[in-house]
């Protein structure tokens, strides 16, 4: 697998199952601000996490999964690529090794995760991979190209039609999803989104 010309972020499962957070990350990736990557194992984890909390959704998340894949056509870090690296990696939680291995195999510049402690800098730093919280990551993308980011969030908000979200409703939803700095940026740009 070749590297990507744009900044590449490996998205951990924990940032792909809060709907608003995942939508924000997908919107910015599909707008071309960065290249998003994940593996089928990561995909299975976010689906299982939702189904564990919401048994009524078991077997009903394929549409959402397919929409994410369509938004980011070059999303997949193939299992054979990351599995060959996983054996040589150690993390405090062995269950996170596949995420780091996928980041390496996917030529990622960073791992976007809510579980920052699970990827200690003394282990991940020498591998030249940054570990970053999704709120910090989204704000960094915004700072790189405010016009593209605002347009991506405007399109995202336009998709929220039931009920139609005001700019404040939209910002509040992202704040509830664990993205307070992103919500602040959206409030500051309310007239544009």
Indicate if the pLDDT at residue 18 is higher than 90: no
- Structure confidence by residue, pLDDT tens digits, 110-121: 999 999 999 999
> What distance in Å separates the CA atoms of residue 132 and residue 164, rounded to the nearest whole number?
31
Residue 38: φ, ψ to 5°: -160, 170
Closest to 174 (Cα-Cα) out of 48, 19, 4, 51: 19
Contact 6, 109 (CB under 8 A): no
* pTM across the whole model: 0.94
pLDDT for residue 5 = 60
Say if CB 148 and CB 140 are below 8 A apart: no
Domains belonging to the chain, first-starting first, are: 8-134 (3.40.50.1010), 138-188 (no CATH)
């Amino acid at each position: 697998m070749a590297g990507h010309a744009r900044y590449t972020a490996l998205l951990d499962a924990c940032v792909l199952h809060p709907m608003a957070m995942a939508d924000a990350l997908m919107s910015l990736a599909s707008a071309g601000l960065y290249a998003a990557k994940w593996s089928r194992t990561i995909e299975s984890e976010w689906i299982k996490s939702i189904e564990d909390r919401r048994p009524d959704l078991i077997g009903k998340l394929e549409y959402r999964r397919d929409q994410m894949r369509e938004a980011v056509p070059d999303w997949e870090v193939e299992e054979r690529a990351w599995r060959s690296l996983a054996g040589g990696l150690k993390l405090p939680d062995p269950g996170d090794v596949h995420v780091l291995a996928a980041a390496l195999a996917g030529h990622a510049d960073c791992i976007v995760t809510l579980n920052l402690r699970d990827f200690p800098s003394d282990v991940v730093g020498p591998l030249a991979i940054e570990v970053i919280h999704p709120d910090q990551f989204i704000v960094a993308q915004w700072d790189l190209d405010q016009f593209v980011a605002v347009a991506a969030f405007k399109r995202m908000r336009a998709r929220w039609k039931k009920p139609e979200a005001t700019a404040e409703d939209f910002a509040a939803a992202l704040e509830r999803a664990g993205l307070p700095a992103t919500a602040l940026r959206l409030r500051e740009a309310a007239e544009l989104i």
